[in-house]
């Protein structure tokens, strides 16, 4: 009977009594293991409130005092400020921040506290302003920055955290403003600036570039 009392309630609820007795008789180790797992799976709920009584933040801690699961922060008005996911105290999964009007401000993916995947930022009206991708904490792939109209402002390419590939900027009408090629973090080839009509305004060849003379 002692083991029956210690077992998690939900297991006793769904196991027929005769099956339960057989399992206790022949598999006591299984129930001791289940009981131990139940202890270490316990979580502690946490919440903090503003002076007006509204919830400021809420979430859960594990037995080691580390944040786990979904944590939500709120504005004093009660509107959601952010929704963040944790595993053993580290960001893990989707994190989203909101404006007071409910529109998204930013969102991104984490794995064990490290940015990994797509990150986006928006203005208060919900218009996309920026999109970038991380691979194991380092910028990777094409990073886009947008005008509020939705037109591309800048197009920047990265590889393993370094500029690599074309870097382009644009006028608000979509016409190319400038372009520069990068290899492993360093500019190479020509830096070209264009007029709004598409004609070349200037060209400059990049030679012997160092971080101190890149003006």
* Tens of pLDDT, residue by residue, the chain (215 residues): 333 333 343 443 334 444 444 444 445 444 444 434 443 456 799 999 999 999 999 999 999 999 999 999 999 999 999 999 999 999 999 999 999 999 999 999 999 999 999 999 999 999 999 999 999 999 999 999 999 999 999 999 999 999 999 999 999 999 999 999 999 999 999 999 999 999 999 999 987 445 444 44
Global pTM reads 0.75
The CATH code for residues 43-137 is 3.90.930.1
Cα–Cα dist 88/91, whole Å: 9
The pLDDT assigned to 43 comes to 75
């Amino acid at each position: 009977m002692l083991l029956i009392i210690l077992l998690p309630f939900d297991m006793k609820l769904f196991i027929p009594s005769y099956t339960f007795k057989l399992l206790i008789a022949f598999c006591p180790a299984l129930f001791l293991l289940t009981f131990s797992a139940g202890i270490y799976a316990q979580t502690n709920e946490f919440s903090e409130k503003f002076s007006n009584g509204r919830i400021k933040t809420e979430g859960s801690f594990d037995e080691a005092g580390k944040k786990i699961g979904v944590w939500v922060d709120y504005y004093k008005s009660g509107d959601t400020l952010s929704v963040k996911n944790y595993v053993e105290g580290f960001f893990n999964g989707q994190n989203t921040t909101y404006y007071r009007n409910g529109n998204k401000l930013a969102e991104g993916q984490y794995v064990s506290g490290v940015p990994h995947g797509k990150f986006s930022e928006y203005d208060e009206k919900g218009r996309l302003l920026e999109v970038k991708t991380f691979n194991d904490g380092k910028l990777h792939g094409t990073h886009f920055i947008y005008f509020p109209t939705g037109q591309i402002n800048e197009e920047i390419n990265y590889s393993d955290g370094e500029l690599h590939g074309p870097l382009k900027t644009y006028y608000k009408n979509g016409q190319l403003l400038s372009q520069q090629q990068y290899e492993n973090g360093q500019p190479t080839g020509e830096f070209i600036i264009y007029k709004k009509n598409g004609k070349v305004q200037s060209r400059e060849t990049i030679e012997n570039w160092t971080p101190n003379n890149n003006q």
